Amino acid sequence: MNHAKDPLHGMTLEAIVTALVEHFGWPELGRRVAIKCFQVDPSVASSLKFLRKTPWARAKVESLYLFMRREQLRAQR
């Protein structure tokens, strides 16, 4: 399998959530991905617990992470 083309290869869910929180902050993250664990008393630990059990929410978070990375790369050019 060619992992070079998968931008999420080697990324843990914790690293993804942490990067999103650092970039957007909890309030904006809760607006972009409307799930309770981002909106009510948010923490990385509670978010990981929910995202590991909820594939649709995890997919949204991973998609937002990829969008954020593309925007960051564009800004560097």
The CATH number linked to 60 is 1.10.720.30
Span 7-41, pLDDT tens digits: 898 999 999 999 999 999 999 999 999 999 999 99
Matching residue, tokens 């969008």: 67
Q: What is the pTM of this model?
A: 0.90
The answer to the question of residue 7 being in a domain is no
Distance CA 35, CA 41 (A): 12
The answer to the question of residue 28 being in a domain is yes
Give 18: exposed, middle or buried? Use CB within 10 Å, 0-12, 13-18, 19+.
Answer: middle
Exposure class string for 56-75: b at 16+ Cβ within 10 A, else e: ebbebbbebbeebbeeeeee
The answer to the question of residue 49 being in a domain is yes
Domain count, the chain: 1
The answer to the question of residue 61 being in a domain is yes
